Amino acid sequence: MTTDTNPPAAGTGGDDSANPPTSTKESVSYETHRKLLDEKKKLQAKLEQIDLDRKVAEEAELTRKGDTQKLLDMERKRVADLELKVKDQDERQLQARKLSAIVKGLNAPVEQKWFSVLGGHLDEILVNETGEIEQMSVTTVVENLKKEWPEMLRRQAAGMPNGAPQGNGATTITRTDWLNLPSKDMTKWKPEQII
């Protein structure tokens, strides 16, 4: 006969109402989520305002001291950052226009899972000096995609998938199987259903 010399751990026995089981996914109410999101937006706005105030104060201090070189360097850095953002934005817009031209050239809806395949061919699309997309390059890319990825354009015909029940017993039966049925079951089948 053995006895357990270790006492049960605190909260493991008896009354579990003090420690309700925790789920692996804890949910947050919508109101709490909105409240926290509003607080985050307010803090973000406050931080941006503090940064702006700091920059204005720094510029005012440099102007007061007459340190025009630092002011000029700060302004050049700001302009360079803005130019980089504009260049990135223009590049994204050009890529989107190229992707749109390919999808339009395919003349079929393309599922999102194929966008990475299409994206691999964006560099093959040419753009002229005025920024317009060359249609011949689009046609070439589209024809190559149709040859390389024909499954991209395959669409299942509308209606029921193959082998799906057709409802109301509208299916077929072989003549030998029909002959093996009891007579009351034979009457349930229409002549066009017997093959």
Q: What confidence tens digit (pLDDT) does each residue in 85-112 have?
A: 999 999 999 999 999 999 999 888 888 8
Contact 172, 194 (CB under 8 A): yes
Contact 169, 147 (CB under 8 A): no
Query: Cα–Cα distance between 117 and 124 in angstroms, integer?
Result: 13
pTM for the whole structure: 0.49
Query: Cα–Cα distance between 118 and 149 in angstroms, integer?
Result: 10
Q: What confidence tens digit (pLDDT) does each residue in 53-81 have?
A: 998 888 888 888 888 888 888 889 999 99
Contact 146, 106 (CB under 8 A): yes
Query: Cα–Cα distance between 57 and 44 in angstroms, integer?
Result: 20
Domain ranges of the chain: 32-66
Mean pLDDT within 116-136: 90
